[in-house]
Amino acid sequence: MLEAMIPAGRAASAKTGKPVKRMVCLSNNYGVYQKAFFPDQGQAGRDYDMPSTLKPLEKHRKDVTVFSNLDHGLTGGHACVPTFLNGIRPDMAAGFPEGNVSMDQKAAEFVGSATRFSSMTLKVKETNQISFTSTGVQVPSIDVRQMYRKLFLEESADSKEQERLRLKRHGSILDAVLDKAKGVNRELGRQDQEKFAEYLDSVRSLEKKIEQEHPWLDRPKPQTDMVEPSPQRQTADEMKIMMELMALAIETDSTRVMTLSSGFANGDFGLQGGYHGFSHHGELPEKTEALKKIEGNQIAQMAYLIDLLKAKEDPINGGTLFDHTMILYGCGMATGTHSCKNMPLVLAGGGFKLGEHRVMPAEEPHRVKACNLLLSMLQNFGLEVDRFGTSTGTLAGLEWA
């Protein structure tokens, strides 16, 4: 990676005097088998025994913290999967000032047009259900082939011209909408005006996004020796490719925010069945062993991403890419048996002092909201915010390195 390829990132770092940060969130839709995931509650601190599912992270122990007893305080089973990065079920969004915007999309708003893609929402064998815009729209997810093409495939001149015309047309439509809206707003009562203001905010958000896309139309994409991949039959193979693409996206400063949801393909790891079926395990050994293999692979891929980022120099900040990248693994539904209590949460890298098992209070009313961790991550990313979702403050004791 040549320094000349990323002047925007270097300029941003030099202007603020702060390092450019990246954020990666990894999830699945079924939680984890907790007995193989969490260290013993009595082993708080640094000298804990690494559970079997987390074993792939042993070599990165000093750069990883596991949290026990953090959750959003929600119930609802599968309905809580979308709450991983916001702490708010979609049906509750209207009662919060920022709706159910997810942490990754809040960070993407902060990044804006500094990178070609303000964020990338990704999937492997499963739909990504955890990324939501400030207007409550679930962000569509893409697979390895689509991600590769977005990162490295140059559009033809005709395609670029069509895209330029599309952006211009959408801009003209939005101008007309906003002009008409002024007249409509004057005729509404106070309650309707508040609702209409929400609609206008969503229009302005789209307008801003269109403005951000314009400068990148004629900028060449980075080049790579990596050949275009296709979705693989084996989940582990496709996950490995996705980790390599994610590392390349960070190295080329194509995006600074990525969210990946992963699943499982029938037949992988010699298993016959579906992830959902295995997650309702009833403590049957054949099902719990299946979960250990599926979720152990997810953690192994997280460890592989850390390997890749540690091996690459950070051309913007100095040090390695890992030094300035936060990686969070977790799920809004804590277990496949529909419990949302004690979410599986592992944080790596990114400027925090890590390397321990943090055991939070288990008893009410002393339990700590998982959104406190999300707020700490947003502040570390560079946002000047004092609350997020259902947070009650930042996560005490999570010191910044």
**Per-residue pLDDT tens over the stretch 58-106:** 999 999 999 999 999 999 999 999 999 999 999 999 999 999 999 999 9
**CA 392 to each of CA 23, 384, 389, 396: distance values in angstroms, whole numbers, following the listed order:** 22, 16, 9, 11
Cα distance between the two ends of the chain: 26
Which pLDDT band, with edges at 50, 70 and 90, does 171 fall under? Answer: low
Identify whether the C-beta of residue 56 lies closer than 8 Å to the C-beta of residue 62: no
pLDDT score recorded for residue 7:
52
Share above pLDDT 90 across residues of the chain, in percent, rounded to a whole number: 76
pLDDT score recorded for residue 1:
46
**Per-residue pLDDT tens over the stretch 214-240:** 577 778 999 999 999 999 999 999 999
Which pLDDT band, with edges at 50, 70 and 90, does 163 fall under? Answer: low
pLDDT score recorded for residue 213:
60
Q: Which residue has the higher pLDDT, 12 or 144?
A: 144
pLDDT of 148 > 90? The answer is: yes
pLDDT score recorded for residue 384:
96
The alpha carbon dihedral of 316, 11, 102, 140 has a sign of: negative
Closest CA to 236 of 288, 150, 297, 177: 297
Domain ranges of the chain: 14-153+226-381, 155-219
pLDDT of 380 > 70? The answer is: yes
DSSP 210-265: HHHHGGGTTSPPP--SPPPP---SSHHHHHHHHHHHHHHHHHTTS-SEEEEEE---
Check: pTM over 0.85? Answer yes or no: yes
Amino acid at 32: V
φ, ψ for residue 373, nearest 5 deg:
-65, -45
Q: Which residues in 40-60 are b (16+ Cβ under 10 Å) and which e? A: eeeeeeeebeebebbebbeeb
pLDDT of 124 > 70? The answer is: yes
Closest CA to 252 of 327, 351, 160, 150: 150
Amino acid at 358: R
Identify whether the C-beta of residue 383 lies closer than 8 Å to the C-beta of residue 112: no
CA distance 48 to 39: 7
Residue 310 in tokens: 């540690």
Beta bridge partners, 329, equal: 26, 346
Fold (CATH) for 14-153+226-381: Alkaline Phosphatase, subunit A (3.40.720)
